[in-house]
Amino acid sequence: MSEPLRVAMVGYAFMGAAHSQAWRTVNHVYDLPAPVRMQVLSGRSATAVAAAAGRLGWAEHTDDWRTLLKRDDVDLIDICAPGDVHAEIAIAALAAGKHVLCEKPLANSVAEARSMVAAASAAQASGVRAMCGFNYRRVPAVALMRQMIADGKIGTIRHVRASYLQDWIVDPEFPLVWRLRKEVAGSGALGDIGAHIVDLTQFVTGRHLTEVCALTETFVKSRPLPSSSAGLSAAGDSSAFGAVTVDDAVLFLARLGDGVVGTYEATRFATGRKNGLHVEINGSLGTLVFDFERMNELQFYSLEAPAEQQGFTRILVTEPTHPYMSAWWPPGHLIGYEHTFTHQAHDLVRAIAEGADPTPSFADALQVQLVLDAVARSAETSAWTRVEEES
Amino acid sequence: MSEPLRVAMVGYAFMGAAHSQAWRTVNHVYDLPAPVRMQVLSGRSATAVAAAAGRLGWAEHTDDWRTLLKRDDVDLIDICAPGDVHAEIAIAALAAGKHVLCEKPLANSVAEARSMVAAASAAQASGVRAMCGFNYRRVPAVALMRQMIADGKIGTIRHVRASYLQDWIVDPEFPLVWRLRKEVAGSGALGDIGAHIVDLTQFVTGRHLTEVCALTETFVKSRPLPSSSAGLSAAGDSSAFGAVTVDDAVLFLARLGDGVVGTYEATRFATGRKNGLHVEINGSLGTLVFDFERMNELQFYSLEAPAEQQGFTRILVTEPTHPYMSAWWPPGHLIGYEHTFTHQAHDLVRAIAEGADPTPSFADALQVQLVLDAVARSAETSAWTRVEEES
Amino acid sequence: MSEPLRVAMVGYAFMGAAHSQAWRTVNHVYDLPAPVRMQVLSGRSATAVAAAAGRLGWAEHTDDWRTLLKRDDVDLIDICAPGDVHAEIAIAALAAGKHVLCEKPLANSVAEARSMVAAASAAQASGVRAMCGFNYRRVPAVALMRQMIADGKIGTIRHVRASYLQDWIVDPEFPLVWRLRKEVAGSGALGDIGAHIVDLTQFVTGRHLTEVCALTETFVKSRPLPSSSAGLSAAGDSSAFGAVTVDDAVLFLARLGDGVVGTYEATRFATGRKNGLHVEINGSLGTLVFDFERMNELQFYSLEAPAEQQGFTRILVTEPTHPYMSAWWPPGHLIGYEHTFTHQAHDLVRAIAEGADPTPSFADALQVQLVLDAVARSAETSAWTRVEEES
Amino acid sequence: MSEPLRVAMVGYAFMGAAHSQAWRTVNHVYDLPAPVRMQVLSGRSATAVAAAAGRLGWAEHTDDWRTLLKRDDVDLIDICAPGDVHAEIAIAALAAGKHVLCEKPLANSVAEARSMVAAASAAQASGVRAMCGFNYRRVPAVALMRQMIADGKIGTIRHVRASYLQDWIVDPEFPLVWRLRKEVAGSGALGDIGAHIVDLTQFVTGRHLTEVCALTETFVKSRPLPSSSAGLSAAGDSSAFGAVTVDDAVLFLARLGDGVVGTYEATRFATGRKNGLHVEINGSLGTLVFDFERMNELQFYSLEAPAEQQGFTRILVTEPTHPYMSAWWPPGHLIGYEHTFTHQAHDLVRAIAEGADPTPSFADALQVQLVLDAVARSAETSAWTRVEEES
């Protein structure tokens, strides 16, 4: 067993809680090359971070993330803070020789993302690793989908159909939380959930979006100011209103090369859809369908089955031979949302231990950022827009 | 093209309407060896039968079914009247040299059913055919289920799990229609819908129930008398009440030989289940599941699929290669309840034209009756009861 | 009872068979103000039309549709021929004082559609009626969807999400049937199935698409020539190839006014999707979802339900109080594809008898045509394109 | 914050791993009155238990559970060993003043269960608590189901329909693991999974089974001996065979008083059903349906909804107002199997801290045992059998 991997985490809201559950669990479920230690939690409010550290299981806490850089007992910095601080923290951490796991979207702008890629690239030379946290890649059904596509199970890809539907701000009285302010969040549905379906469809198909045509809409243009910005669940109690400066919904068409076409939609106004990440890929030999609200299932249609028996097969992705699942329970015993983070932690720890680069890399995340940027520009100009390629 | 097959029908309520739709349609959808003519409709009320004949498309009508026996222009008598008159009409019709299609259950008692079998057997010698109308055998998905089991797709059968759930008398104010009176209907859920799951499971598995243990329950023991007995939809408007003399629900365990075991349930008190005929068969190599409320689908699980891709396949049974479907619409264009009667009419007409015996025969229907009789006796005696076998 | 309505039909392939089933059935299921008579069938091949007339139940037949115009015993002409002849026949029929039912899409060009609208308008003055056959409006679940939206059940509409997915030409060996040739079919997936989702979403929301941005794709660019063009199911047996001159797939974004946004997709390359017409409408108070492959069901989510009990309700649209359903079977007994045509026939016959204009009118169908035209132009120019409005 | 609750656990196979995950997590997700400490793990093999303690997160380990009794630093003993040792350990632990959590089924015989109840009763006087681990009660959807029934949402109960379907021994080459040997496991499907549906249906309905009629079947009567008995996943590699001495499947009818009737089935031979715990309760006003393979969902049909909008509502039980869910993720972010144990741990720790008796008590578990005993006797005698009541 090698030395323990000592983790520091910045941020302790929704994402911080999910990552903490992963760090607490990963040692005990997987046979890791290095044990994980939850060393220190960082946050802006000294009081709040102290409480969070206790609750979430971190040994220490600090209200200044810069102190983490100098500590010898921190090997990895896990960034769960809002997007506007990703670049600064990640670049500093990498420069300090700390491995970095950074939540998606990588940054609030392409420029920031580029500087993060440069930092990661520089650090890589000295064995420092950087990874972006697109956790949905680690849903076993999604990993299986990728594998089946790579194995040719659906043949030549024709169509990508992706939507990420939520409804948490349908109520116009829902307050103006940070996720609805462009200066903090960068964008609305686009960066928050649209980023996931861009990454996920590129991941499973092995293709990139090359050109997009988008529209965005903000249905509710002003909202009550929140008393405090406590994440998704904050309730407004103020009579003051502020402008919503991000998109409530984004819709776009895409080309993915070689004639592959796609429709994409991300919205927070699809009443009744709670975390409706839905992806369908049609190929010349079959189709695969994933819906996060039934995350333990993958639908598969194969033209190679006997003609009279063809149909959509609901694969319950809980068999020990399915990706990530040998560590968990017997078949039919479901796993949940948080497990995606445990799988992510597993893959990251193993990559670090083995001296390999974890994926998605910062460069992968920059490419997603370039897609989001093209989408945003397309929506502004009402024109088909090419996705920039990094040289 | 041979001579037309001239049909007379007795009864014109729910079943009469469904059969009429089949007789009107079968000529035009299938390439039949003989065209069907809807010659005459018979019913007890002269006024009502006249109206029904016009509406349902019968050329003539009569209020005396006995007159049908002597008519040279009637080849087949289709009995859609309640169960208490099946035996008398069927036996007379067969003796008069008319082919007979008799709705299920064949009779209200085993004794009656036996005399009908004897009549059918005697008539068969002179080429007269008799068939019992278990229409659910003609759902394409059910026919496919039988075929797949016969082809060994699910291996050795272990479990049969059948239920037929309805809810049309959950309301205690629903009136005492004829289906709730033992002297007319013979039994309640048992003969009306239980008969279907007995026949259907025997049909698809190719096995017979040999032993049963049952309970019956009548949840609402008295109901308002109806002003008229107009079938399923009659509304009560009387202050007088009468006793419900049939079972509201019947549940039974069964053995089907060679270690095969089954659970059966038929009820009219399963709130929300409208026509919930549900059958699951587990075998050593796979499972098949059918649910009438999604009658165009068949679920199939196969251990012979690659391990990581196993799951329940939802076969949309609308391909031209599926049973009965080549006559209908392109794939994905559903068919409905009434089509089962059209398929039944097709099979019957073809059998008559080809000089073959249609199935299910009266003997098949008697065997179902013997199962129902064993169930009823088991419920009375609270004991496991063997199903009698005809010698 | 008024005089019978005598129908002539032009065309007898897939649509002709479906319409025939409706004309045969509508008298017997609904209590119509006028009985329908299936007077004469018209088609180009004298031999084929004679056979079809016999099979489909038409009293007479002709190989010259022009003869229909002069017959006194023809009241209505039902046009089921390919789109390239719609305009000529419909205009002549209306001029001859015949009511017209014309299959969708109304015409292969906006110009033709406009001349048809003019003809219908002129004929209307003398009580002659014209209707376009968008049969999916008559799926009971779709009619219920429209009614619930009109009743405010889902509040202010935000999102429309519509796709019509088929897979019948995934195989590159599938022959070049008439539906794949622009000069006959006008367009590919766009006019054939895209037209349905445009009409259906406009019908249920009561809104019009005002602006679109589209892409089209032809995945398989040449195909074997068919030996005969027998519709959907033709098998190619020739070594000669021809160019596919229509779209295999069309994807578009749309604005529907007042901030309502939509995604639309029609394709024949969605492997495993047989007749996957899927529509979801999100509103401020709820959501409605329809999928034709489960056409007897409507999904409804309501924010007005008690919070802990909210969810998607699967309404089985088979209750007598549901649109069109009182004429059919008891609850839970499904109907099929063809019933939409019977409902359409019912509505048309009733409108004619009552001296009312049936819907969708030719003007409604022209408006759909204008949307399709904007989509086609948008795909060509790769630009957002406004839908023209008729003055 | 009170003193920590120091836990010792006996057993570390499948159940031990699940309980460990719960003990590791419960502190960090819920705001507990007392922190939990994972003090010591006990198992028969010194080597294996050492490895397991490290992997599962226990501070210490021992190969002699008796040593736990004397330790001052153990407050609670969690028994995850096979059923044949439950009684001995539990009784000793309670006598030693340790709280006890004992996996289900409580014991392998009614006599043992009775002695455990007596021990729990004696210990209760001095504030020592005993609980039996029927974890499925703590699925949020199940807890919601109970609450809705108690609130009268489905009215008077008529029908209970419960099955627990698995398929892990369909292969006749699957070895003779301890769960297939009566002397260790007590029974087969009956005690292992049948116990769960008995408890669960009694829990949600608030009713007891009073009378049962059962059959059992052992489809594969001998199996290869395993090389080691490592739980569910052991692979046989021996040429020696041994007799299967437990039931592969058990089916029973039940009466639950006041006319309520039920069907129950537990089997390990339902090919394709992995952990198919399925329960449907029909009442006079509605129906509730739960299926563990979609454990985050609850289906609800209500006659109190507007007539045209009635249907089965799929409640996604992930809202913060749903039982246990406020501690987890935003709506639509699923939880998994292991969470039921975390909820169980939460309820137990809270009960201990508050000086309350946790449920299900040993007496509750004895009552389940009495039902299982009646089922076993009924299967042996082929007769309806009354469930004994404890005085």
pLDDT band at C390 (very low <50, low <70, confident <90, very high): confident
Closest CA–CA distance from residue B298 to any residue of chain A (Å): 9
Q: Considering only alpha carbons, which residue of chain C is nearest residue D319?
A: C308
Domains and CATH numbers, chain C: 5-136 (3.40.50.720), 139-356+369-381 (3.30.360.10)
- What's the pLDDT at D237? 53
Q: Is D57 helix (H, G, I), strand (E, B) or coil?
A: coil
Q: Is C63 on the interface with B (CB under 8 A)?
A: no
Q: Is A291 on the interface with D (CB under 8 A)?
A: no
pLDDT tens string D296-319? 999 999 999 999 999 999 999 999
Q: Considering only alpha carbons, which residue of chain B is nearest residue D170?
A: B284
pLDDT band at B228 (very low <50, low <70, confident <90, very high): low
In sequence order, what DSSP letters do the residues of C205-251 get, joined into one string? H-----EEEEEEE-SS-EEEEESS--GGG--EEEEEEEE--S-SEEE
CA distances (Å), origin D1, targets C235, D4, D23, D231, D347: 78, 9, 18, 39, 17
The answer to whether residues C164 and C265 touch, using CB atoms and an 8 Å cutoff, is yes
Q: Is C148 on the interface with D (CB under 8 A)?
A: yes
The answer to whether residues C346 and C26 touch, using CB atoms and an 8 Å cutoff, is yes
- Say if residue C215 is exposed, middle or buried (CB neighbours under 10 Å; 0-12, 13-18, 19+): buried
Q: Is C170 on the interface with A (CB under 8 A)?
A: yes
Rounded distance between C-alpha atoms, residue B234 and residue B224, angstroms: 11
Closest CA–CA distance from residue C157 to any residue of chain D (Å): 19
CA triple A181-A187-A193, angle to 5 deg: 115
Closest CA–CA distance from residue B166 to any residue of chain A (Å): 28
Q: Is B287 on the interface with D (CB under 8 A)?
A: yes
DSSP A388: P
DSSP lists the bridge partners of residue D100 as D77, D130
In chain A, residues with a C-beta closer than 8 Å to the C-beta of C271 are: 154, 158, 282-287, 301, 303
Name the phi and psi angles at B269, rounded to 5.
-125, 25
Q: Is C260 helix (H, G, I), strand (E, B) or coil?
A: coil
**Average of per-residue pLDDT across D70-87:** 96
Q: Is A215 on the interface with C (CB under 8 A)?
A: yes
Interface test mutation site (partner B, options C15, C26, C28, C325, max chain B beta carbons within 10 A): C28
Q: Residues A102, A103, A104, A109: is their CA dihedral positive or negative? A: negative
Q: Is A233 on the interface with D (CB under 8 A)?
A: yes
Rounded distance between C-alpha atoms, residue A263 and residue A261, angstroms: 7
Chains that touch C (3 or more CB pairs under 8 A): A, B, D
Residue B11 pLDDT > 70:
yes
Q: Is B153 on the interface with D (CB under 8 A)?
A: no
Q: Is B316 on the interface with A (CB under 8 A)?
A: yes
Q: Is D235 helix (H, G, I), strand (E, B) or coil?
A: coil
CA distances (Å), origin A302, targets A168, A286, A291, C267, D342: 36, 4, 18, 18, 39
Using alpha carbons, select from D38, D42, D85 the residue that is nearest to residue D65: D42
Rounded distance between C-alpha atoms, residue A388 and residue A135, angstroms: 25
| Residues of chain A with confidence (pLDDT) below 50 | 229-231, 233-234, 236
pLDDT band at C228 (very low <50, low <70, confident <90, very high): low
Name the phi and psi angles at B52, rounded to 5.
-65, -40
Closest CA–CA distance from residue A256 to any residue of chain C (Å): 12
CA distances (Å), origin B315, targets B143, B376, C332: 13, 36, 20
**Average of per-residue pLDDT across B43-71:** 97
Can you read off the two tokens belonging to residue D204? 């949600």
Helix ranges (DSSP H) in A127-273: 140-150, 182-185, 189, 195-205
Question: Which of A153, A309, A322 minimises the CB distance to B313?
Answer: A309
Question: Which of A55, A233, A334 minimises the CB distance to D336?
Answer: A334
CB within 8 A of D278, min separation 6: which ones? Answer: D161, D162, D163, D164, D165, D289, D290, D291, D292
Closest CA–CA distance from residue A311 to any residue of chain B (Å): 4
In chain C, residues with a C-beta closer than 8 Å to the C-beta of B18 are: 329
Residue C247 pLDDT > 80:
yes
CA distances (Å), origin D286, targets A383, B165, B270, C305, C331: 52, 14, 8, 15, 16
Residue C117 pLDDT > 80:
yes
- What's the pLDDT at C237? 53
DSSP D164: E
List, in sequence order, every beta strand (DSSP E) within D230-275.
Answer: 236-243, 249-255, 261-267
Closest CA–CA distance from residue C325 to any residue of chain D (Å): 12
CB contact under 8 A, C305 and D313: yes
pLDDT tens string B90-129? 999 999 999 999 999 999 899 999 999 999 999 999 999 9
Using alpha carbons, select from A220, A225, A243 the residue that is nearest to residue A170: A220
Can you read off the two tokens belonging to residue A137? 């890649």
Residue D391 pLDDT > 80:
no
CB contact under 8 A, C166 and B27: no
CB atoms within 10 A of CB C245: 16
- What's the pLDDT at B381? 98
CB contact under 8 A, D307 and C321: yes
pLDDT tens string D89-142? 999 999 999 999 999 999 989 999 999 999 999 999 999 999 999 999 999 999
> For chain A, what is the radius of gyration of the CA atoms?
21
pLDDT band at C230 (very low <50, low <70, confident <90, very high): very low
pLDDT band at D232 (very low <50, low <70, confident <90, very high): low
Rounded distance between C-alpha atoms, residue B71 and residue B61, angstroms: 13
What percentage of chain D reaches a pLDDT higher than 70? 97
CB atoms within 10 A of CB D126: 8
Rounded distance between C-alpha atoms, residue C131 and residue C344, angstroms: 10
Residue that is written with structure tokens 């429309």 in the block: C160
pLDDT tens string D238-281? 579 999 999 999 999 999 999 999 999 999 999 999 999 999 99
- What's the pLDDT at C239? 74
- What's the pLDDT at D239? 74
pLDDT tens string D135-165? 999 999 999 999 999 999 999 999 999 999 9
pLDDT band at D229 (very low <50, low <70, confident <90, very high): very low
- What's the pLDDT at B229? 45
Using alpha carbons, select from D304, B170, D307 the residue that is nearest to residue C320: D307
Can you read off the two tokens belonging to residue A319? 């068999």
CB contact under 8 A, B336 and C339: yes
Name the phi and psi angles at C293, rounded to 5.
-65, -15
- Say if residue B23 is exposed, middle or buried (CB neighbours under 10 Å; 0-12, 13-18, 19+): buried
Among A141-145, B108-112, B153-157, B261-265, which is the least confidently predicted range? B108-112
Chains that touch B (3 or more CB pairs under 8 A): A, C, D
- Residue A206 region, left (φ>0) first, then alpha (ψ -120 to 50), else beta? left
Rounded distance between C-alpha atoms, residue B33 and residue B345, angstroms: 12
Closest CA–CA distance from residue B331 to any residue of chain D (Å): 27
pLDDT band at B238 (very low <50, low <70, confident <90, very high): low
**Average of per-residue pLDDT across C110-132:** 97
**Average of per-residue pLDDT across B295-309:** 97
State the greatest distance between any 2 C-alpha atoms of chain C, in Å, as a whole number.
Answer: 66
Rounded distance between C-alpha atoms, residue A231 and residue D338, angstroms: 26
Can you read off the two tokens belonging to residue C299? 């999904």
Using alpha carbons, select from D78, D85, D263 the residue that is nearest to residue D164: D263
- What's the pLDDT at D238? 55
DSSP D383: B
Q: Is D191 helix (H, G, I), strand (E, B) or coil?
A: helix
Q: Is A111 helix (H, G, I), strand (E, B) or coil?
A: helix
Higher pLDDT, C3 or D117: D117
- What's the pLDDT at C12? 95
Pairing relationship of beta strands A236-243 and B36-42 according to DSSP bridges:
unpaired
CB atoms within 10 A of CB C276: 19
Q: Is C379 helix (H, G, I), strand (E, B) or coil?
A: helix
Q: Is D7 on the interface with C (CB under 8 A)?
A: no
Neighbouring C-alpha atoms within 13 Å toward the C-beta of B142: 27
* Count of residues in chain C: 391
**Average of per-residue pLDDT across B142-158:** 98
CB contact under 8 A, D314 and C310: no
- What's the pLDDT at C229? 45
CB contact under 8 A, D310 and C305: no
Cα B299 to chain centroid distance, Å, stands at: 22
pLDDT tens string C261-276? 999 999 999 999 999 9
